[in-house]
Amino acid sequence: MAFVTANWNPLGDVFYRKFDLYSEWMIKEDISNCLIAVAPYGGPIALMINGSRKEKAPNLRPVVEIYSSSGNRIISFPWKSGIVVHIGWTIVEDLLFIQDDGTVLIHDIFGTFKRHFSMGNEVLQNRVMEAKIFFTPYGSGVAILTGAFRFTLATNIDDLKLRRFPEVPGLQHPPTCWAVLVQDRQTKIVLANGKDLFILDNASCRAVTPPGLGPQACTFTQIAISFNYKWLALFTDTGNIWMGSSSLKDKLCVVDTNLQTPPKQFVWCNRPKSNNPSVVGIWDKLLLIAGNSKETIKFYQDEDVHLVPEVDGVRIISSSSHEFLHEVPPACQDIFRIASMAPGALLLEAHKEYEKESQKSDEYLREIKEQNLLFEAVEQCIEAAGNEYEPEMQKSLLRAASFGKCFISNFPPDTFVKMARDLRVLNAIRDYTIGIPLSYPQYKQLTIEVLIDRLVLRRLYPLAINICKYMKISEFQGASRILAHWACYKVQQKEEPDDSIARAINNKLGDTPGISYSEIAAKAYECGRTELAIKLLEYEPRSGEQVPLLLKMKRSQLALLKAIESGDTDLVYTVVTYLKNEMNRGDFFMTLQNQPVALSLYRQFCKHQEPETLKDLFNQDDNHQELGNFYVRSSYSNETTIEGRVAALQNAVDEYNKAKNEFAAKITEEQIKLVRCQFRLQKESGKTLLDLSLHETVSTLLLESKHKQAEQLYKDFKIPDKRFWWLKITALAKKEDWEELERFSKSKKSPIGYMPFVEICVKHHNKYEAKKYVAKVSPEQKVKGYIMVGDLEQAVEAATERKNESELNTILSKCTSASDQLIIEKINRAKTQILKK
């Protein structure tokens, strides 16, 4: 076990170790002459070669090279824009280039330009002296120090809001050092101007004094803020390092390094939940670790290195090596410390002896069991396995844990299973060909979802899908989403023909749930591949997704066809409206002619919203029948004058004649005649008659006692006799003109008989008048007439005379036993006589 601790270095009560992440790692460039940016969480490395040289040949362009963390070159391209002051990675692994004029250019991990933005006119005028990129809860931010010694910040480059910080009193030259601090969701700047230390926020600038550093403190030359913004370290020109809380209210310790020159880099190296935070500084070839102890750890380097702070340590990058420095986690210290008697160490030894088939295994197990620490031993081995980088050591620890579990009846398996799964994922992404050397704490902080996003960003689609399946991530969040990203990347490959790409995408995606072919087609259209986008849309089952993109691509005819096929009228209306706005009137109408469904829906729309357009449609089609109908509707809905109405109706007659619809033409002519008569009668009587039907007009005249005018209409319009008699007796009864009704009944023989007279009188509650007409009623209806007027006795006589038993029974049903006893007896006698005969 001694070899495990060979690279351990003590610092107070804890140990630090430094090991190679990749043994074959190699970058040919000398990083001391480059602008370098390394993304955290095992992210990529960007170098800008020749970018930092102030004096260089005019024809010597800077070159940008992007590598994975395993040293594999991803892309190399010449820089063709302005002078770059600083480069850095965002939280989503986009590469930012901050130019001296305040322009920030954003490229993706493959060097493709995405967009740019400016940090404002003040930065443009005063130029950029220094810049830093930082992370906030809102996203990635940019801090600029201008030539006027003022700070401008953007806390989220995806929602750009520039903030200019207050002026620092007495700052006549660049600050000695400065750093960005995010505290309580607020972004602040900590800066040192010689012996003075200031904290700037949006509204104020206040001087601060770190506790434990008296007035004899000298110039502050470096500032380091921890990855989680919890701790702050200051380096002074006397060689002291002050460490404390980032609020500058609590001191952790002060360490004397005996080095007066400021370090080239100064970063924190602290493990989450550790009580022993430390800082790392680099001086030429010396790397020094200082913590809450009088001692320090020193490493001597053969070449220039670059420090990359991580959530649980520091990555150390040089041209020939890529190392990781961190505090040895407690579980690993307990198990691997020399002569350790921790339960995890004993369990590991027990398993080793068990594999040798030695009885010592039982002795170690008994010792753990006697202390009731077997449960803790298993947990220690599982935890230590997560913090080991070498797969063989992970296996040894997990096997020991599995061995110990066999002797615990109720040990929950979830912890062991989850660690085994996580380590398998971590070992897969740490592979040299992938190059994402995440530690277990970084992996837990980053989350599996973000890791999948980063694999997709690197176009490692098969690995991402396999991890999703292995970790049992839902298809919608996992495989489907990854396949959609793959398809969007596939459509950008311009060397392949459209047919083969569309076929390949469909073969791979099929009907996978959560896949939107329209989004993939939209990406193809953005890349200028319209035909490919159309082919991809053929696989989109939702017409509502197809149509908007087809319209955007100016494929309106196809959009209309798809909308009609969907059966969604709202979608058809959307396309028709678009066509109407985009095309000239003639082409628009001709397009609709070829699509009967769309034409019908558009006619319905025009009928209610644009009647004049509807008329144009009918005219273009020579549809005289519909034009006639249009003029008829128009005469009543739009025309307010009698002349306009008559003219519209006359137009309708002309159109009906052209359509050879003699019936429609005839009745429309009759309507014109009626309208003119109504207008004349209306002027004479002052009573509103327009818009009434012929029958309503006659009834209105009769109610107004305009009998001559009513009879004239009866003659002019050849109203049938029966209909006119009905209209007249109804009107006379309604106005209770019983004398005129009687005179009318005697004027000539009624074409409708006299039963209607009886019924109309009874309807208006006048049985007295009704009795006058019962005698004139035909024999077949006399019984009914007498019953209606309430004369049951006469009804019995009429029924007896007709010898109709059925009518007698009807009368009997109308009698009441108390008041109509005589009539009942009379009915019974009549029935008896009928039966005898």
Strand partners, 280: 267, 289
User: 108-130 as b/e, with b when 16 or more CB fall inside 10 Å?
Assistant: ebeeeeeeebebbeebeebbbeb
Helix 585-593 to helix 569-582 angle (10° resolution) is 150
**Cα gap 211→410, rounded to integer Å:** 51
Pairing assessment for the beta strands 322-327 and 14-20 based on DSSP bridges: antiparallel
What is the per-residue pLDDT for 55?
A: 45
- Phi, psi for residue 369 in degrees, rounded to 5: -65, -40
Beta bridge partners of 84: 99
Burial 159-193 (b: 16+ CB within 10 A, else e): eeebeebeebeebeeebbbbbbbbeeeebbbbbbb
Contact 234, 210 (CB under 8 A): yes
Q: Which two tokens stand for residue 602?
A: 């558009």
Q: Which long-range contacts (CB under 8 A, 24 or more apart) does 831-837 make?
A: 831/805, 833/800, 834/803, 834/805, 834/808, 837/803
And the tokens for 483? Answer: 């396949």
Query: What token pair was written down for 124?
Result: 């443009």
Q: Output the pLDDT for position 53.
A: 46
C-alpha neighbours within 13 Å on the C-beta side of residue 390: 8
pLDDT of residue 690: 75
Residues of the chain with pLDDT under 50: 1-2, 53-56
Structure token pair of residue 644: 């306009």
- Report the chain's terminal Cα–Cα distance, integer Å: 136
Tokens matching residue 542: 């939702």
Helix and strand numbers (H, E) in the chain are 33, 29
Measured torsion, CA atoms of residues 673, 678, 683, 684, in degrees rounded to the nearest 10 = 100
| Other residues' Cβ atoms within 10 Å of the Cβ of residue 23 | 8
Report pLDDT for 140: 94
Distance of CA 490 to the CA centre of its chain: 23
pLDDT for 611 equals 63
Using DSSP's 3-state secondary structure scheme, residue 574 falls into helix
Tell me how long the chain is. 837
770 is written with which tokens?
Answer: 């009704």
Q: What are the backbone angles phi and psi of residue 268, rounded to the nearest 5°?
A: -85, 150
| CB count in 10 Å sphere of residue 411 | 17
Both tokens assigned to 212:
């434990």
DSSP string across 367-387: HHHHTT-HHHHHHHHHHHHHT
What the block records as the tokens of 177 is 């050092």
Q: According to the model, what pLDDT value does residue 345 have? A: 92
Predicted confidence at residue 610, as pLDDT, reads 60
Q: CB under 8 Å, gap of 24 or more: what pairs does 331-336 form?
A: 331/380, 331/381, 331/383, 331/384, 331/387, 332/384, 332/387, 332/388, 333/14, 333/15, 334/380, 334/384, 335/380, 335/381, 335/384, 335/397, 336/1, 336/4, 336/5, 336/384
The rounded Cα 438 to chain-centroid distance in angstroms is: 31
Which helix (H) or strand (E) segment holds residue 139: the answer is: strand 139-146
Q: Which residues, 6+ apart, have CB-to-CB distance to 686 below 8 Å?
A: none
SS3 state of residue 837: coil
The pLDDT, as a whole number, for residue 620 is 64
Q: What is the pLDDT of residue 54?
A: 47
314 Cβ contact list (under 8 Å, min separation 6) = 267, 269, 280, 307, 308, 324, 325, 326
Among residues 460, 470, 475, 384, the alpha carbon closest in space to that of 429 is found at 460
Output the pLDDT for position 574.
Answer: 78
Gap between the Cα atoms of 37 and 42, Å rounded: 12
Per-residue burial over 255-270, b if 16 or more Cβ lie within 10 Å, else e, is bebebeebbebbbbbb
> How far apart are the C-alpha atoms of 690 and 158, rounded to whole Å?
69
Bridge-based pairing state of the strands 240-245 and 63-67: unpaired
Distance in angstroms (rounded) separating the CA atoms of residues 105 and 117: 7
pLDDT value for 640? 66
Rounded distance between C-alpha atoms, residue 346 and residue 374, angstroms = 10
* Cα separation, 74 vs 77, whole angstroms: 10
